[in-house]
Amino acid sequence: MTKLRLAIVGAGPAGIYAADILLKTERAFDVSIDLFEQLPAPYGLVRYGVAPDHPRIKGVINALRDVLDRGDIRIFGNVRFGEDVTLADLKKHYNAVIFATGAVRDASLDIPGIDAAGSFGAADFVSWFDGHPDVPREWTLDAESVAVLGNGNVALDVARILAKHAEDLLPTEIPDNVHAGLEASKITDVHVFGRRGPAQVKFTPLELRELGELRDVDMVVYDEDFDYDEASKDAVASNKQVKVIDRVLQQWRTRPGVNNSGGEASRRLHLHFWAKPVEIKTDAAGKVAAIVYERTKSDGSGGVVGTGELRELEIGQLYRAVGYFGSPLKGVPFDKRHGVIPNHEGQVLQKDSNERVPGIYATGWIKRGPVGLIGHTKSDAMETVQHLVNDQGSWWQPEDPSEAAIPALLESRGVAWTDLDGWHRLDEHEIALGAPHERARIKVVPRDEMVRISRGE
């Protein structure tokens, strides 16, 4: 019987779902799958892109763990594609490869001053508070007033972590260095800016509700933002999710502190709608000092137009959460404009000619861009896997498809890779670190320490 030797690059939800779906698909060939991950631990953005106080979303890890723990997928962690293994290596040892590398860079925002000192991408901040091993350990929160740009779930995650008191994060898996950084925070006011109105936001009701539950944090909304036009009224009436979001915001309008009249909390989280950032002003040292934004209004069809009215607010830091962006992979076609691998339903295409590239596939955010929740990733992977199964005639013919080839190759190159047993060791170690403090776990942050524990050294 024909055997498919498949490499999957990226051990987040997209890569693990693709492996699981393929193994469960009816097919006329055997399958052997190797999963490559650049970090020493699996799960991608579920481990390093979801805020530590979101245990419900972290529950996705349990489903991913069940897939890996079946033992029919090999995992090679701490292996960088393009450095430790190349596309030429994969062609030599596999019939095909699926790239599931996600989108972990911040999308750019082209306004004056956006690159000033004290202006950050949300992805970098999220990586810091999630204990990503490849970012600096320190993060200075020395401004009293900060701005967050964006109206999606990432923007609310960032705003919530900035506004929340550090001790309220202690029951979570927050790393010690992150707790220390948040404990030293001077923040009193977090301002979230969105270009559209309350009925056009991109975040979910769950994310919004959580903001209102923060201890010693007043929610501040502004009456002027709730003069709904017909399009907004229709959105509230016809969409259950928008209706819930509107209900939450309307309740907040009745709280003390609305319209900046001042509640009793020591911190405030302000939501500014119909507010388009146009410039970041800096002080003499080149550091963020203020945000200039234009009031917008509905264009009647879900979009916005400017009103010409400019406002200015003093801030000391800025976080832009305007979307994630994919990174190019060595030897693989890449669409620089959209930050994805060009593809047709997961079949990778040449960038200029749109011709199929045999043997190379994509799934997840590197395939479709950073849209949709984790659940969308399953149907996305199913589409890619179906093409892979149907494309048997165009698979690569590897020179050495033996399962012993990859460990030998990595060893010859001095790569200290981690495997599934290693992840179990690291997982148990982190849980044990948290147990005496009644915490879910305490993440190990330095990469070399993660590798040492995983390899039992």
User: What is residue 99's predicted lDDT score, i.e. its pLDDT?
Assistant: 98
Cβ neighbour number for residue 280 with a 10 Å cutoff: 24
Domain membership of residue 26 (yes or no) is yes
Give per-residue pLDDT as tens, 300-329: 877 899 999 999 999 999 999 998 899 999
- The CA-CA-CA angle for residues 17, 20, 21, to 5°, reads 85
Q: Is residue 245 very low, low, confident or very high in pLDDT (cuts 50, 70, 90)?
A: very high
Helix, strand, or coil here: 418? strand
**pTM reported for the whole predicted model:** 0.92
Looking only at the bridges linking them, the beta strands covering 347-349 and 356-362 are antiparallel
Do residues 345 and 235 both lie within one domain?
Answer: no
pLDDT at 260: 56
Q: Which residues contact 449 (CB under 8 A, 6 or more apart)?
A: none
13: domain CATH number is 3.40.50.720
Query: How far, in Å, are 18, 135, 375, 385 from residue 8 at the CA level?
Result: 8, 25, 19, 11
CATH number at residue 266: 3.50.50.60
Cα–Cα distance for residue pair 440/435, rounded to 1 Å: 7
Q: Give the chain's mean pLDDT.
A: 93
Instruction: Please report which helix (H) or strand (E) contains residue 281, including its range.
Output: strand 275-282
**What is the CA 403 to chain-centroid distance, rounded?**
32
pLDDT in tens, 338-395: 999 999 999 999 988 889 999 999 999 999 998 877 778 888 999 999 999 999 999 9
Q: pLDDT tens, 75-98?
A: 999 999 999 999 999 999 999 999
Cα–Cα dist 363/170, whole Å? 35
pLDDT, tens digit, 9 for 90 and up, residues 121-130? 999 999 999 9
User: Tell me, what amino acid is at 396?
Assistant: W
Residue linked to tokens 């959209």: 338
User: Please, what's the largest Cα pairwise distance for the chain?
Assistant: 74
Query: Exposed, middle or buried: residue 362 (CB in 10 Å: 0-12, 13-18, 19+)?
Result: buried
Q: Quick one: pLDDT at residue 2? A: 84
Span 151-170, mean pLDDT?
95
- The DSSP call for residue 53 is T
276 and 299 part of one domain: yes
| Domain tally, the chain | 2
Per-residue model confidence (pLDDT) at position 257: 58
Closest CA to 300 of 199, 150, 194, 151: 199
For the stretch 259-303, pLDDT in tens is: 555 578 999 999 999 999 999 999 999 999 999 999 999 988 778
DSSP state for residue 108 in the 8-state scheme? P
* Euclidean distance between CA atoms 47 and 42, whole angstroms: 8
Among 320, 350, 368, the domain-final residue is 320
Residue 163, domain extent: 105-320
pLDDT in tens, 413-456: 999 999 999 999 999 999 999 999 888 889 999 999 999 999 99
Reference 17, options 365, 418, 440; nearest CA is 365
* Residue 411, domain member (yes or no): yes
CB burial of residue 299 (10 Å; 0-12, 13-18, 19+): exposed
Domain co-membership, 87 together with 137? no
- The proportion of the chain whose per-residue pLDDT surpasses 70, expressed as a percent, equals 97
Q: Residue 431 falls within a domain, yes or no?
A: no
Asked if pLDDT for residue 215 goes beyond 60, the answer is yes
437 within domain boundaries: no
Assign 64 a pLDDT band (cuts: 50, 70, 90). Answer: very high
